[in-house]
Chains A and B, each alone.
Chain A
Amino acid sequence: MSVPASPYVTVLPRAHPFLSYQGTPTPAYELDSDGIPVITTSGLTKVYRSRGREVTALDGVDLHVREGEVYGVIGQSGAGKSSLIRCVNLLERPTAGTVTVAGRDLTALAGRGPRAGKELREARSRIGMVFQHFNLLSSRTVQDNIELPLEILGKSGKERSRKALELLDLVGLADKAKAYPAQLSGGQKQRVGIARALAGDPKVLLSDEATSALDPETTRSILQLLRDLNRQLGLTVLLITHEMDVVKSICDSAALMENGRIVESGTVSELLATPGSELATALFPVGGEATGADRTVVDVTFHGEAATQPVISQLSRTYNIDISILGAAIDTVGGLQVGRMRIELPGRYEDNVVPIGFLREQGLQIDVVDEPVLVKEGAK
């Protein structure tokens, strides 16, 4: 393979295992926790009106995506995820609120009419987007599909085909340039979709359920590709998904959406450190039911230094109580080692205030699985 000309593309091949590319290594992008926000929405509201009825899809969403991170928005269908991601590049006009991408206020560029003006279209061309159903043109070959955004940008034919072939190489489909989308598998189509989204050298990639139409193994390989692109290029990725595994495997930060609002958000480690975080529980579930009515079930989350201390045996010795372990797991979430254990103490919550206080003092995160919840679960 010849050395690619564009500086953007020169770093890409390293992201891809199939290619042996010899060049000066660039340091992997380091995520700065106080990074510059590259996507910011404030008070984003979208109300759909049809036949006199109003549906609020987005209800004052404030989103802050920092440069170089993978940010996952998770929620059930109908939570407003799709509206949110479409408002970021203004495919949907927000009813109220502002969207800023890479320092430009897109809502100000939008103008009044329903049609996108020149400035907004130009801004869009620097935001890549990947779709659930790939949205490749069936009348064009793979290469021509990737060239389409370059045609829109007015690049010459030579430049277009060079860039398209480089991108195809990058996503591992160099031999499929002349194939039509109908000849490709789902995973291959999504690779073409990603290559196409990268053609305009975007700083930001929006992923609209990019893996939801794929099988688990293909999902993993596509997520790996997104992760590599993010790491190698500092490409900021905003993705929406309904699959917790997607957030778990590639996201640095996540937000949970319900009924058009963001209920929880933060970096994965912040979320795991938040007591009672729904997202943390969903990301990292531990099973196990109480064995009797007069027991207290406690979830203990270990991360960082606390993980090295023998807290359970200390607790048992100090208070002379028998502890049963109902469930436990150690996992990597967003690149962090996290342990979580569900233990059972004899006696009701009132009897265990002191031991629970002890656990908290050890710097562990303690969530008491309280009785009303258990009753509710039992009723199902």
Chain B
Amino acid sequence: MTWSEMQPLLSQACWDTLYMVGWSTVIAVVGGLPLGVLLVLTDRGGLLQNVVANKVIGQVVNVARSMPFIILMVALMGFTRSITGTTIGREAAIVPLAIGAIPFFARLVETAVREVDGGLVEAVQSMGGNTWTIVRKVLVPESLPSLIASTTTTIVALIGYSAMAGTVGAGGLGDIAIRYGYQRFETQLMWITVAILAVVISLIQFAGDFAARSLHSRGGKAGPAPKLRLLKAATADTKTV
């Protein structure tokens, strides 16, 4: 295969992957964030303690998380059709990708939100804040660096899942690698695909880490202060890496 033959294939595949991963990430965050927060709030000793609800949500999340993606995709076909009107193509792949990523992200959110110091919650309660205020002004902003890191992890996992989306004709980089690289022995194309995936994942990871770190080290950075504090801030930065 020549480069001129490969080039349109690859650019279409890149676009397909980004499209699927982008939309399913948005849906996963929108769905997973409240679910993760709810898992913390309904837990024993939580602000909305509800053991039954907590167990039910926890169980659903666990089952959905442990389901292999390719099976989830097949199992959800009826549901997918009812939403997108088809079970084939990019849009059809977004539904199972998002459904698979919501519980994944929810668990990560749960862990991140649990890390927030209970004293902060107590402080806002003592000011007369209600649960919604605590979620909005404490739990989410205080866990934001971790939430960003969780989003990065979710995106990377979704890129992995999206490799299987080829089975429903959704295309994408993983599909190219399997159909051309594996089934047609186009080794060169396969390696290029692998390289592109590696670069994309690295870029996403780097951007995510950078965003999380710059939020996290807020305050670690010294303002108009003597050099010594700048030095300290620099070492603090490297610690958070």
Could you tell me which A residues sit within 8 Å of B by CB distance? 89, 91, 114-116, 121-125, 127, 129, 131, 133, 135, 137-140, 148-149, 151-153, 178-183, 196, 200, 206
Does B226 count as interface, using CB distance less than 8 angstroms? no
Nearest-CB residue, chain B, relative to A153: B128
Q: Are A124 and B124 in contact (CB under 8 A)?
A: no
Nearest-CB residue, chain A, relative to B122: A91
CB-defined contacts of A133 to chain B, threshold 8 Å: 117, 119
A133 CB to nearest B CB, Å: 6
Could you list 28 examples of A-B contacts with CB < 8 Å?
A: A114-B49, A115-B131, A121-B128, A121-B129, A123-B128, A124-B125, A125-B128, A127-B126, A129-B123, A129-B126, A135-B117, A135-B119, A137-B120, A138-B218, A139-B141, A139-B144, A140-B141, A148-B124, A148-B127, A151-B137, A179-B223, A182-B219, A182-B220, A183-B219, A183-B220, A183-B223, A183-B225, A196-B127
B84 CB to nearest A CB, Å: 38
Q: Are B119 and A131 in contact (CB under 8 A)?
A: yes
Query: Given that A114-B49, A115-B48, A151-B137 are known contacts, is A138 also in contact with B126, CB under 8 Å in the complex?
Result: no
Q: Are B219 and A121 in contact (CB under 8 A)?
A: no
Q: Complex Cα distance A305/B173, Å?
A: 94
Q: Complex Cα distance A91/B130, Å?
A: 12
Query: Given that A115-B131, A137-B141, A138-B219 are known contacts, is A152 also in contact with B124, CB under 8 Å in the complex?
Result: yes
Q: Are A178 and B223 in contact (CB under 8 A)?
A: yes
Q: Are B122 and A139 in contact (CB under 8 A)?
A: no
Q: Complex Cα distance A211/B218, Å?
A: 26
Does B47 count as interface, using CB distance less than 8 angstroms? yes
Does B138 count as interface, using CB distance less than 8 angstroms? yes
CB-defined contacts of A137 to chain B, threshold 8 Å: 120, 137-138, 141-142
Q: Are A135 and B219 in contact (CB under 8 A)?
A: no
Q: Complex Cα distance A220/B185, Å?
A: 78
Q: Are A200 and B127 in contact (CB under 8 A)?
A: yes
Query: Given that A133-B119, A148-B137, A152-B133 are known contacts, is A116 also in contact with B223, CB under 8 Å in the complex?
Result: no
CB-defined contacts of A89 to chain B, threshold 8 Å: 126
Could you tell me which B residues sit within 8 Å of A by CB distance? 47-49, 117, 119-120, 122-131, 133, 137-138, 141-142, 144, 215, 218-223, 225
Query: Given that A131-B119, A140-B141 are known contacts, is A183 also in contact with B222, CB under 8 Å in the complex?
Result: yes
Q: Are B120 and A135 in contact (CB under 8 A)?
A: yes
CB-defined contacts of B219 to chain A, threshold 8 Å: 138, 179-183
Q: Complex Cα distance A200/B127, Å?
A: 8
Q: Complex Cα distance A162/B142, Å?
A: 25
Nearest-CB residue, chain A, relative to B118: A135
15 other contacts beyond A135-B120, A183-B222, with CB at 8 A cut-off? Answer: A116-B125, A121-B128, A121-B129, A121-B130, A123-B128, A129-B126, A139-B142, A139-B215, A148-B137, A149-B127, A149-B128, A152-B127, A179-B219, A183-B220, A206-B126
Q: Complex Cα distance A149/B131, Å?
A: 14
Instruction: Point out the residue from A114, A125, A180, A183 that lies within 8 Å of B127, measured CB to CB.
Output: A125
Closest 10 CB pairs of A and B: A180-B219, A182-B219, A125-B128, A135-B123, A121-B128, A149-B127, A129-B126, A135-B119, A139-B141, A124-B128
CB-defined contacts of B48 to chain A, threshold 8 Å: 115
Nearest-CB residue, chain A, relative to B117: A135
Q: Complex Cα distance A226/B47, Å?
A: 32
CB-defined contacts of B49 to chain A, threshold 8 Å: 114
Q: Are B47 and A115 in contact (CB under 8 A)?
A: yes
B141 CB to nearest A CB, Å: 4
Q: Complex Cα distance A148/B124, Å?
A: 8
CB-defined contacts of A140 to chain B, threshold 8 Å: 141
Name, among B49, B126, B129, B222, the residue most crowded by chain A CB atoms within 10 Å (CB to CB): B126
CB-defined contacts of A182 to chain B, threshold 8 Å: 218-220
A160 CB to nearest B CB, Å: 13
Instruction: Point out the residue from A114, A153, A180, A196 that lies within 8 Å of B218, measured CB to CB.
Output: A180
Q: Are A122 and B128 in contact (CB under 8 A)?
A: yes
A145 CB to nearest B CB, Å: 9
Q: Complex Cα distance A127/B125, Å?
A: 11
Q: Complex Cα distance A351/B48, Å?
A: 69
Nearest-CB residue, chain A, relative to B46: A114
Q: Complex Cα distance A152/B137, Å?
A: 10
Q: Are A131 and B138 in contact (CB under 8 A)?
A: no
Q: Complex Cα distance A135/B117, Å?
A: 8
Name, among A133, A180, A181, A196, the residue most crowded by chain B CB atoms within 10 Å (CB to CB): A180
CB-defined contacts of B130 to chain A, threshold 8 Å: 116, 121
Nearest-CB residue, chain A, relative to B137: A148
Query: Given that A182-B219, A183-B222 are known contacts, is A124 also in contact with B133, CB under 8 Å in the complex?
Result: no
CB-defined contacts of B124 to chain A, threshold 8 Å: 148, 152
Q: Complex Cα distance A123/B125, Å?
A: 11
Instruction: Point out the residue from B126, B220, B223, B225 that lies within 8 Å of A124, measured CB to CB.
Output: B126
Query: Given that A115-B47, A138-B142, A178-B223 are known contacts, is A152 also in contact with B129, CB under 8 Å in the complex?
Result: yes
Nearest-CB residue, chain B, relative to A140: B141
Name, among B117, B123, B124, B130, the residue most crowded by chain A CB atoms within 10 Å (CB to CB): B123
Q: Are B218 and A91 in contact (CB under 8 A)?
A: no
Nearest-CB residue, chain B, relative to A121: B128
Q: Are A152 and B128 in contact (CB under 8 A)?
A: yes
Q: Complex Cα distance A80/B220, Å?
A: 36
